[in-house]
């Protein structure tokens, strides 16, 4: 069998095995949508060239001086290193608009918002409804940053970006 075909097949098997297992074990809300997306990604998968690793301090030399806060640690569903980088970037860059796709509990949404400016607007579209899944946005509901966050029931594949002002 062709080596490229074997490598491609191995990536698909590994991707599906890990992703589906994690999705079902964590009882992810809307996992039926996740499975559909996983199938689409696997069918459209093309091996990517290696992406160069760049140290964050090479891009922003003083970023490690940026103060960060996390009012609800453990709510963001990402690796600790990713959470730290996101908090540092929000604190250092102080964006006025944040769009975070796929809300879930809203831990990452809260983290980005609380480390930004008080006038920052955060828009977070999610395909699931908080009425059906009360955990959607639960991290920022009742927080002092809730008024800055717009939880919008929407599909990111058909999301209308025009009202956000994002280009």
In the 3-class helix/strand/coil scheme, how is the chain assigned residue by residue?
CCHHHHHHHHHHHHHHHHHHHHHHHCCCCCHHHHHHHHHHHHHHCCCCCCCCCCCHHHHCCCHHHCCCCCCCCCCCCCCHHHHHHHHHHHHHHCCCEEECCCCCCCHHHHHHHHCCCCCCEEEEEECCCCCCCCCCCCCCCCCCCHHHEEEEECCCCCCCCHHHCCC
- Looking at residue 18, what is its pLDDT? 54
Q: Does the structure show a pLDDT above 70 at 162?
A: yes
Tens digits of residue pLDDT in 109-160: 999 999 999 999 999 888 888 788 888 888 999 999 999 998 888 887 887 7
Q: Which of 26-30, 56-60, 117-121 has the lowest mean pLDDT?
A: 26-30
Q: Which of 12-21, 49-58, 99-108 has the lowest mean pLDDT?
A: 12-21
- Looking at residue 120, what is its pLDDT? 94
Q: Are 118 and 89 in contact (CB under 8 A)?
A: no
- Looking at residue 91, what is its pLDDT? 94
- Looking at residue 90, what is its pLDDT? 94
């Amino acid at each position: 069998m062709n080596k490229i075909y074997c490598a491609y097949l191995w990536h698909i098997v590994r991707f599906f095995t890990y992703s589906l297992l994690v999705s079902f074990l964590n009882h992810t809300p809307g996992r039926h949508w996740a499975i559909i997306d996983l199938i689409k990604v696997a069918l459209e998968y093309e091996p990517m060239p290696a992406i160069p690793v760049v140290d964050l301090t090479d891009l922003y030399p003083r970023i490690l001086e940026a103060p960060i806060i996390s009012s609800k640690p453990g709510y963001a569903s990402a690796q600790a290193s990713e959470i730290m980088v996101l908090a540092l970037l929000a604190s250092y860059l102080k964006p006025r608009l944040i769009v975070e796709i796929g809300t879930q509990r809203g831990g990452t949404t809260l983290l980005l918002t609380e480390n930004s400016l008080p006038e920052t607007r955060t828009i977070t579209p999610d395909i699931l409804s908080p009425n059906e899944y009360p955990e959607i946005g639960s991290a920022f509901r009742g927080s002092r940053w809730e008024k800055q966050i717009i939880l919008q029931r929407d599909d990111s594949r058909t999301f209308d970006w025009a009202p956000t002002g994002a280009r």
